Structures are given as structure tokens and as C-alpha cells.
């Protein structure tokens, strides 16, 4: 029996489902019940009947799944897979800004720790940030933790005072304009797809900007068969699966998230077998951190 067969058997026996982010290793994406971005997976987590949810991603994703499914057992494939950006904001700064602006709304990218969610008014993802922030009835918005997504939002919503924080995703932020210009020179006919966690100069030189799910869908609507892909390389598995005859080019600098790659089949098997790496959240924290997530789901309908 192969390791994959053992995982599938165990999954059935334990009434578990496997949720995987587009950035994890492709051998996990192949056997996951659902693969998607943070927003999609949080909605799946909300509607499942399974007893156990096994999350292949990073810690904040497992926390979101637990917040939305408090009575279910949520296990992280690897509880050392963390997102460095998720904690790049200061609670003191939030408190200080709340004193300065009466109407302040703290908008928290879903890629954030439980502690930051507890201090926020509404969560957003890269798919719904523009829609949700436009609908808020406050002028002053503090966007945490990602400055690049925050700047993208600020440039697209002119009638609000969007205050930026200095957090960033090391994987997307490190991509330089030189990397992109070299690629464009090499593949002049290719359409450039970029994630909004990239720096501004990358985004203004790209053709399509959006979340992983948005970029994957966008390929279907574009009359081209060549694409430069500027996000974590795990997305290539889904792109090549859906569009086998198209060509996808990546920068020389490998966009690889070491934390996402900590999710392996061996870890997945052990986690499921021992039901370890359970996400535990106390009920008080749950009440506070669930509020912005529920707000997001309400606005995003
Ligand atoms: S790719 Fe960036 S934002 Fe996503 S988990 Fe890795 S470090 Fe965090």
C-alpha cells in the first residue's frame, strides 16, 4: 500500500477532509478534497460535515478554519508552518490609531494571526478587499498587515483615508522590477499575472493583478497562451492542470514559500494517524477573532 493509499484510507475511516492551499506541494494538492485560496477554503471549512479538517497551509489558515468550525477538530499538517507576514503589525499601533480617529476601521488581511484578528473590525482576502473596503461606512481605515496589498487598495479606492502598515510577504516582496523586465524582454508576447502582495512597481507593469484564485480564472478569459506568473510557484500545478497547452513562465528568482513547503505527505499521514497538531482556541479569543471573519463573510456575499 502506498503512502497516498494509506492517507486516503485513514481519511475515510476518520471522516476527515483535507484542505490545501495552492502554494503547498503538488503531491498534497493532488489528494486534497479541496484546493484553493484562503477565502475559498474558509468558506469550505464553514460548510463541511466532516468530523476532522486537516489543513495543509500555514497556521493562520488552520486558525480561521477552527474559528468558523469551533465544534470540529482542526489539525495542521505541520504546526511549524507559519506565515512571517501574519504577525507583522503592532497591537499598540492599532490602539493608538483608534484614539486618533473616532471612526477608524481596522481591516485585517486574512493572512494574519489570531491576535491581530482579535483587534480588527473586518477581515479581507486579496479577492474581496476592494469590494469590502468600498462598502465600509468609515473614512479612516487602517489596513494590516501587508503594505503592498494595502497600497493596491489605497490606489483603487480614492475616497477613503487608508493608513498603511509596514508588513510584507517576504516571498512576493523580494521580486524585483529587474526580474520582471528581464522576463518581459525574454517573453514579449506573454500576459503578466501578478499577486497584489508584490511591490507597486511590479503591479503597475503587470496585465492582471489578483488573488491566486482570480489569476487562475483570468487565464480562461484572456486570448493568449503564454503567461508570466508572479506569485508562489505552487500555483503552477493548478495552472498546468487546467490549461495543459499553455506556457507559463516564472522569474529566475524562485518564488517559493518555505513555510508552505513544510507540508509533506509524511507529515500529513502522521497528523491524521495521531490526530496531532490540533488548533486550540479558547472561547473568549474565539468570540473576538470570529467577529471580523463573520463580517467578511457577510460583506462578501
Ligand atoms: S507566500 Fe507569503 S503570505 Fe503566503 S504564507 Fe508564505 S510568507 Fe505568508
Q: Atom 3 (ligand 1): residue with closest C-alpha? A: 169
Phi first, then psi: give them for residue 255, nearest 5 degrees: -90, 85
Distance CA 108, CA 257 (A): 21
Between the two ends of the chain, the Cα-to-Cα distance in Å is 44
- Confidence (pTM): 0.93
Q: Tens digits of per-residue pLDDT, 20-36?
A: 999 999 999 999 999 99
Distance CA 208, CA 101 (A): 34
> How far, in Å, is the centroid of ligand 1 from the Cα of 83?
5
> How far, in Å, is the centroid of ligand 1 from the Cα of 9?
31
Neighbours of 96 (CB within 10 A): 11
Ligand 1 pocket mutation pick from 37, 58, 258 by most atoms within 8 angstroms of CB: 58
Q: Tens digits of per-residue pLDDT, 154-173?
A: 999 999 999 999 999 999 99
* Mutual angle of helices 235-242 and 212-221, in 10-degree steps: 20
278: helix, strand or coil = strand
81: helix, strand or coil = coil
Q: Atom 1 (ligand 1): residue with closest C-alpha? A: 257
| C-alpha cell, 138 | 468609515
- In this prediction, residue 253 carries a pLDDT of 86
Cβ atoms of residues 142 and 165 within 8 Å: yes
Q: Which residues line ligand 1 (CB under 6 A)?
A: 23, 58, 83-85, 111, 169-171, 232, 257, 259-260
Q: Extract the residue ranges of the chain whose pLDDT is less than 70.
A: 300-301
Cβ atoms of residues 145 and 89 within 8 Å: yes
Distance CA 205, CA 193 (A): 10
Cβ atoms of residues 148 and 173 within 8 Å: yes
Phi first, then psi: give them for residue 14, nearest 5 degrees: -95, 5
Task: Tell me the percentage of the chain whose pLDDT exceeds 90.
Answer: 89
- In this prediction, residue 301 carries a pLDDT of 65
Q: How many residues does the chain have?
A: 301
Q: Which residue is it, cell 480614492?
A: 158
CA distances from 113 to 10, 75, 122, 192, 213 (A): 30, 16, 14, 31, 22
In sequence order, the β-bridge partners of residue 275 are none
- The sign one gets for the Cα dihedral 44, 74, 289, 291 is positive
> How far, in Å, is the centroid of ligand 1 from the Cα of 95?
26
Distance CA 203, CA 199 (A): 6
Q: E strands along the chain, which residues?
A: 16-21, 34-36, 52-56, 73-76, 105-109, 122-124, 140-144, 161-164, 191-194, 208-209, 226-230, 247-249
Domains of the chain: residue spans and CATH = 3-82+260-280 (3.40.50.10800), 85-170+286-299 (3.40.50.10800), 171-249 (3.40.50.10800)
Q: Which residue is it, cell 485560496?
A: 37
- In this prediction, residue 297 carries a pLDDT of 85
Ligand 1 pocket mutation pick from 23, 36, 149, 167 by most atoms within 8 angstroms of CB: 23
| C-alpha cell, 298 | 457577510
Amino acid at each position: 500500500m502506498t503512502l497516498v493509499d494509506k492517507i486516503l484510507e485513514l481519511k475515510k475511516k476518520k471522516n476527515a477532509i483535507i484542505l490545501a492551499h495552492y502554494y503547498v506541494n503538488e503531491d498534497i494538492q493532488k489528494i486534497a478534497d479541496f484546493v484553493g485560496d484562503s477565502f475559498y477554503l474558509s468558506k469550505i471549512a464553514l460548510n463541511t460535515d466532516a468530523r476532522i479538517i486537516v489543513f495543509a497551509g500555514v497556521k493562520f489558515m488552520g486558525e480561521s478554519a477552527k474559528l468558523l468550525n469551533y465544534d470540529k477538530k482542526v489539525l495542521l499538517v505541520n504546526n511549524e508552518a507559519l506565515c512571517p507576514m501574519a504577525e507583522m503589525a503592532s497591537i499598540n499601533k492599532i490602539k493608538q490609531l483608534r484614539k486618533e480617529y473616532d471612526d477608524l476601521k481596522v481591516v485585517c488581511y486574512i493572512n494574519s494571526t489570531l491576535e491581530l484578528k482579535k483587534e480588527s473590525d473586518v477581515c479581507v482576502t486579496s479577492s474581496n478587499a476592494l469590494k469590502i473596503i468600498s462598502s465600509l461606512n468609515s473614512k479612516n481605515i487602517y489596513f494590516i498587515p501587508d503594505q503592498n496589498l494595502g497600497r493596491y487598495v489605497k490606489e483603487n479606492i480614492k475616497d477613503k483615508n487608508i493608513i498603511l502598515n509596514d508588513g510584507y510577504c517576504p516571498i512576493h516582496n523580494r521580486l524585483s522590477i529587474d526580474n520582471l523586465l528581464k522576463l518581459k524582454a525574454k517573453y514579449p508576447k506573454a500576459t503578466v499575472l501578478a499577486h497584489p502582495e508584490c511591490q507597486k512597481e511590479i503591479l503597475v507593469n503587470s496585465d492582471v493583478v489578483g488573488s491566486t484564485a482570480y489569476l487562475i480564472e483570468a487565464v480562461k478569459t484572456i486570448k493568449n497562451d503564454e503567461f508570466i506568473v508572479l506569485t508562489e510557484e505552487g500555483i503552477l500545478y493548478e495552472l498546468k492542470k487546467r490549461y495543459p497547452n499553455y506556457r507559463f513562465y516564472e522569474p529566475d528568482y524562485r518564488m517559493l514559500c518555505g513555510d508552505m513547503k513544510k507540508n509533506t505527505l509524511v507529515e500529513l499521514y502522521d497528523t491524521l494517524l495521531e490526530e496531532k497538531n490540533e488548533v486550540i482556541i479558547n472561547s473568549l479569543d474565539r468570540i473576538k477573532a470570529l467577529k471580523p471573519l463573520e463580517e467578511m463573510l457577510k460583506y462578501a456575499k
